Amino acid sequence: MHDVVIRTEALTKVYPGDIRAVDQLDLEVHAGEIFGLLGPNGAGKTTTAGMLTTRVIPTSGRALVGGVDVVEHPTRAKRVIGVVPQTNTLDRSLDVFENLYFHGRFFGMSARTAKAEAHRLLEQFRLGDRARVPVLALSGGMAQRLMVARAIMHRPAILFLDEPTAGLDPQSRIAMWEILGELHRNGQTVLLTTHYMEEADQLCARLAIIDHGRLLAMDTPGALKASIGMDSMVTVTATGDLERLATELQSRLDDVSRAEVADGVVRLWSSRAEGMLPRVIDVAEAAGFTVTDLSATAPTLETVFIQLTGKDLRE
Ligand SMILES: Nc1ncnc2c1ncn2[C@@H]1O[C@H](COP(=O)(O)OP(=O)(O)OP(=O)(O)O)[C@@H](O)[C@H]1O
Ligand SMILES: [Mg+2]
């Protein structure tokens, strides 16, 4: 049996104006895993993380972190969590070292321990030479690493990261992935939100795909990709009546189980990728269409998302 460290039961948040940001969400996160909440803009990721970290009051349902009910005992809950929000919340009146030091002091560390721990974390997060620099002088990647260092300063059982790599350059993104990998190897439980499927795929042991506040699927990346039961998704760009083209392709190609028109292209779900593309062109041309672009992709979390929602995860 897994040790469950985060549990939500029918967790729901309705904002004024009847905006159902999170709708009856049931989640279970296990000790020591990196768990991902994957969803497009407005899916409810930040609101979910907000409720789990006592920043947003649920409308109904329940949420437990480390066995503590976040609504009944917010102060106790705050002690078992570390939070890296979506926006920069570093204290600009303090330098890099002080941002860590005073956080430690706030959580009851002695001056000596806080100082030693701050320096240790600055080294670990490759910020050792920036200790006395004002936080405004940090790059986006460095500021983000400092936010993570601060969040784990008081050794929380669970670390929450809201879009930890959004807006970072590729190098800083990789540096952040390395840091999260290192924390994971040391046993840290992590819940992160992301709309990058590659990030969810590479980092997360398990993930929940959410959209419009609802849980669409929750499993390992591998199991989610296998669940489509498909070899590939073929995207066809062509001129003319795409609905008719979709019908033609589905009826004339053996291995196509599903064909649909979305975002101005025809999408085919095929159980046999081999030799598919030339056959698509043959059928399309025989039916009087001109194919202007054609591609096949193996299942990714993106494909899973498209199959679940009929739309792209990317903006
Ligand atoms: N304070 C608020 N008041 C009213 N509506 C809100 C509030 N915060 C979020 N919402 C709405 O709730 C829904 C979910 O928003 P949320 O920020 O949780 O999504 P998200 O998945 O984090 O999106 P993003 O990828 O843009 O960060 C959206 O429709 C959003 O407009
Ligand atoms: Mg968000």
Nearest CA residue ID for atom 3, ligand 1 = 15
pLDDT of residue 1: 62
In 32-114 the beta strands, taken as DSSP E runs, fall at 34-38, 60-65, 68-69, 81-84
Q: What is the CATH number of domain 228-309?
A: 3.30.70.100
> Rounded distance, CA 113 to CA 152, Å?
14
87 Cβ inside 6 Å of ligand 1: no
Residue of 47, 57, 313 to mutate, ligand 1, most atoms within 8 A of C-beta: 47
pTM for the structure as a whole: 0.87
pLDDT of residue 215: 97
50 Cβ inside 6 Å of ligand 1: no
pLDDT band of residue 257 (cuts 50, 70, 90) is: confident
pLDDT tens track for 197-254? 889 999 999 999 999 999 999 999 999 998 887 778 899 999 999 999 999 999 999 8
Whether residue 50 has pLDDT greater than 80: yes
* 299 CA to centre of ligand 2 in angstroms: 26
Nearest CA residue ID for atom 13, ligand 1 = 21
41 Cβ inside 6 Å of ligand 1: yes
Whether residue 104 has pLDDT greater than 60: yes
Residue by residue, DSSP assigns 102-144 as HHHHHTT--HHHHHHHHHHHHHHTT-GGGTTSBGGGS-HHHHH
Domain ranges of the chain: 4-224, 228-309
CA 48 to chain CA centroid, nearest Å: 12
> Rounded distance, CA 184 to CA 166, Å?
20
Contact 157, 66 (CB under 8 A): yes
Residue of 13, 14, 19, 161 to mutate, ligand 1, most atoms within 8 A of C-beta: 19
Q: Which atom of ligand 1 is nearest to the CA of 48?
A: 18
44 Cβ inside 6 Å of ligand 1: yes
Domain 4-224 = CATH 3.30.530.20: no
pLDDT tens track for 262-314? 889 999 988 887 888 989 999 999 999 999 999 998 888 988 988 888 777 66
- How many other CB atoms are there within 10 angstroms of residue 123's CB atom? 12
| Closest ligand to Cα 195 | 1
47 Cβ inside 6 Å of ligand 1: yes
Phi first, then psi, for residue 278 (nearest 5°) are -60, -35
> Rounded distance, CA 203 to CA 200, Å?
6
